[in-house]
Structure formats: C-alpha cells, structure tokens
C-alpha cells in the first residue's frame, strides 16, 4: 500500500455513512476549536476484511478488495454511536474488537462471546460512546474521549494473535466537542519489529508542510515493548497532546512507551521552532531501532517544496542497513535482515 497516501488521507471517518465519508472541518495551526456537531449521531460504516493482493496478509478497508494496513481511521464525537457492518471476504473466521468504547456481548468481537464473522459472512457490530457524567455517589465517571484502536480477535485463534500478525488493526478516535481538528493525520502501529507492517527503509514517510497541524495516532501490538520517539517535536502528556493554559504543568515529552495493546495520540505543528526538514521517528529501544523500527517525518517548506538537504537525508535513510535479527512475518515464520 502507499503509506504516504494513507497518512495524508485526513478525511477519514469523523462523519461516516454507509455510502461514504463526510469531511470534517479542516483546522489550520492558527484556527480555533472545531464547531460543535449534532449530539448523539449514529454513524454507519461498512468495513471489508480482505486478503492483501499478492500476499497472505489481511487488512480492513472501506472498499471490497482494497484492504489497507493499518485499516481506516475511525472517528466520532462523544455521544455518537458507530454501527460497523463488517463484511468478511476471507475463508477464515474473523472479527472486529474495539478499545475505549461501549458495546454489548454480541458486539464484543471475541469468540469467548461467540461474537465473530464466519467465513464470507457479514455481521453488524455496534459501538457506543458517552460523555463524562456524575454518578449518584458524586464521583465523576469518565467519558469515551481518547485515542483508541480496533483489531481482530478471532482469525485462526481465540485471541486475535494471528489476525494482528496478518494486519487486521486500525485506529479509533473519540473526540470531545470543541477539540481541535488537524490538517493531517498519521496512524503509526508498532507490531513486533514492524511499523505499519514494514521495516526500514520501507517504513512510511509521513509528509506535512511547515506550519500544518499534524495528528499522530500511535498504537502498540504484538509481544514486544516499544517506545515512540519523534525528532525535533514534542507534545504534552495529556489526552490530546496539548496544554490547556499557560499555567498547565503537564509533562512535555518527545518519547513515550508504547506497550502491546496501548495507544495514545497527540498533535504538533509541523516544524514549529525547528523548521522544515527530514525528521526521524523510531522506537527508542535501541536494538529495535537498529533492526528497522524507524521512519521519516518529512516537513516540507510552507509552499510544499522540498527543503534543502531533505532528499539527501531520505536517500541516506533508505541506504541504511540493519543488524541481523529474526522478526515474525505475516505467516508467523522468521524474516531475516542483513548484517551491516
């Protein structure tokens, strides 16, 4: 798949319908908060699970026969309901299981609850969200807002292990009304020693122009602990990655642990304070970075032109070799990389 095109597809799912996608308002770096949307919308989305052409990998997609890894980024506001019609176009049972939202046992996506699609079966999963509310005891209960994810829980097993190795996963954002909306979004998934099922130098090159508001959605899967580090950019360790005021003392970070099953997200202004250029992102577990868990965040000039020295940096990145390691591939076998 074309990772650059996937990353630049901002118009993901904020107001999905069965027939297509309604684009949310684009917010620039200097814009205000997003306009309020109607409360309690039901958003109908059809997702197709298919084999990736020419491989044994499997992915979720918005069109039959066109799966992507990661799958489509789904978005909604607190209070909305997502009705997911999952079409299984494979010869294996599979499912879709979400994090961070509410669902009943029929929409759990787990064989434990007999919730999955049989081969070639279409099934509907309903996910609900809520705003924070005050319980009878006076304590406030959390809403659904956050950077979450979804994944298979039934492909060739009861826990989704093989489905994740195949590529059945994607990002899910639940926003509070008034949250800033970005111009660009990039989903970054660390699974075993892959980034979006690729190893350097074939990992995604994410692109933005200087000054654009960019949102990263970071997700961890597999069996290994990772960290996500972004060169030259930093964010607040909060729900959104932003501060609430000049006196907000939330920690500021540029590296955060990304364990299996974890997810977080944040927004940055591309090149803010540092300018355009080819900036690296990578796992900061050093052996993992050496073995191919790194990629490029290309901040172009404000007019979209290539910054001085950026192409040379990308060429050097693509020329890197990586130390020998064994990494599970999509079939569970080992893939060996070259010794530098």
Position 14 confidence tier, pLDDT thresholds 50, 70, 90: low
One domain for residues 191 and 166: no
Supply 20's token pair. Answer: 């297509």
Q: Same structural domain for residues 109 and 197?
A: no
pLDDT digits (tens, 9 = 90+) for 232-276: 999 999 999 999 999 999 999 999 999 999 999 999 999 999 999
Token output for 109: 């996506």
Q: Which domain holds residue 253?
A: 184-336
Do residue 159 and residue 252 come from a single domain?
no
Rounded-to-integer distance, Cα 284 and Cα 307, Å: 26
Quick one: pLDDT at residue 320?
78
Q: How confident is the model at residue 26 (pLDDT cuts 50, 70, 90)?
A: very low
Question: Which whole number is the average pLDDT over 301-326?
Answer: 87
- Specify whether 126 is located in the same domain as 147: yes
DSSP states along 252-282: EESEEEE-TT-EEEEEEETTTTT-SEEEEEE
- CA dist 85 and 42 (Å) reads 13
Q: In this structure, what are the phi and psi dihedrals at residue 332, rounded to the nearest 5 degrees?
A: 95, -5
* Residues with Cβ within 8 Å of residue 279, at least 6 apart in sequence: 230, 231, 232, 233, 296, 297, 298, 299
- In this prediction, residue 290 carries a pLDDT of 94
CA dist list (Å): 87 to 22, 93, 171, 215: 21, 11, 18, 29
Which neighbouring-strand residues pair with 219? Answer: 189, 263
Q: Are both 148 and 195 inside the same structural domain?
A: no
**Same domain flag for 146 and 195:** no
Dist. CA 240–CA 187, nearest whole Å: 15
pLDDT of residue 72: 98
Last residue in a domain, options 175, 200, 232? 175
CATH of the domain at 63: 2.60.40.420
| Number of structural domains the chain divides into | 2
Residue that terminates a domain, selected from 175, 210, 235: 175
Question: CA 327, CA 57: separation in Å to the nearest integer?
Answer: 15
Long-range CB contacts (within 8 A, 24+) of 60-63: 60/96, 60/168, 60/169, 60/170, 62/21
Provide the pairing of β-strand 81-88 with 122-128: antiparallel
Nearest alpha carbon to residue 218 among 270, 169, 291: 169
Query: End of a domain among 175, 210, 239?
Result: 175
Please report the DSSP string for 36-87 in residue order. PPPTT-EEEEEEEEEEPTTSS-EEEESSTT--BSSEEEEEEETT-EEEEEEE
Q: What's the residue count for the chain?
A: 340
Both structure tokens of 327: 């990494």
Residues 95 and 115 in one domain: yes
Instruction: Identify whether residues 137 and 188 lie together within a single domain.
Output: no
Same structural domain, 199 and 147: no
Confidence at residue 40, expressed as pLDDT on a 0 to 100 scale: 83
Q: In whole angstroms, what is the distance from residue 103 CA to residue 137 CA?
A: 24
Please tell me which residue, 39 or 134, carries the higher pLDDT value: 134
Quote the pTM value.
Answer: 0.85
Q: How far apart are CA 83 and CA 18, in angstroms?
A: 9
């Amino acid at each position: 798949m074309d990772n650059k095109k996937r990353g630049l597809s901002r118009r993901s799912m904020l107001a999905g319908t069965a027939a297509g996608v309604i684009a949310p308002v684009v917010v620039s770096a200097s814009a205000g908060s997003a306009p309020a949307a109607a409360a309690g919308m039901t958003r109908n989305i059809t997702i197709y699970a298919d084999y990736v052409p020419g491989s044994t990998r499997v992915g979720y997609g918005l069109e039959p026969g066109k799966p992507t890894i990661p799958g489509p980024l789904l978005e909604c506001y607190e209070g909305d309901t997502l009705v997911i019609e999952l079409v299984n176009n494979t010869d294996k049972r599979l499912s879709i299981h979400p994090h961070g939202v509410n669902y009943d046992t029929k929409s759990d996506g787990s064989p434990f609850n007999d919730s999955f699609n049989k081969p070639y079966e279409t099934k509907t999963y309903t996910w609900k969200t809520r705003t924070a509310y005050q319980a009878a005891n006076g304590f406030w209960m959390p809403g659904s807002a956050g950077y979450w994810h979804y994944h298979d829980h039934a492909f060739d097993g009861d826990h989704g292990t093989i489905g994740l190795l195949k590529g059945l996963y994607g990002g899910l954002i639940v926003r509070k009304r008034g949250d800033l909306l970005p111009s660009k979004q990039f989903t970054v998934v660390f699974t075993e020693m892959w980034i979006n099922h690729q190893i350097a130098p074939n990992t995604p090159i994410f692109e933005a122009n200087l000054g654009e508001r960019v949102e990263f959605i970071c997700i961890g899967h597999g069996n290994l602990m990772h960290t996500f580090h972004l060169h030259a950019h930093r964010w607040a360790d909060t729900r959104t990655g932003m501060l609430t005021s000049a006196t907000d003392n939330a920690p500021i970070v540029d590296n955060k642990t990304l364990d299996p099953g974890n997810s977080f997200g944040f927004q940055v202004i591309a090149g803010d304070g540092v300018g355009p250029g080819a900036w690296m992102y990578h796992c900061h577990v050093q052996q993992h970075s050496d073995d191919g868990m790194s990629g490029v965040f290309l901040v172009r000039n404000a007019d979209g032109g290539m910054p001085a020295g950026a192409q040379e940096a990308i060429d050097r990145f693509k020329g890197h070799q990586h130390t020998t390691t064994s990494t599970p591939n999509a079939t569970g076998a080992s893939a060996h990389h070259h010794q530098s």
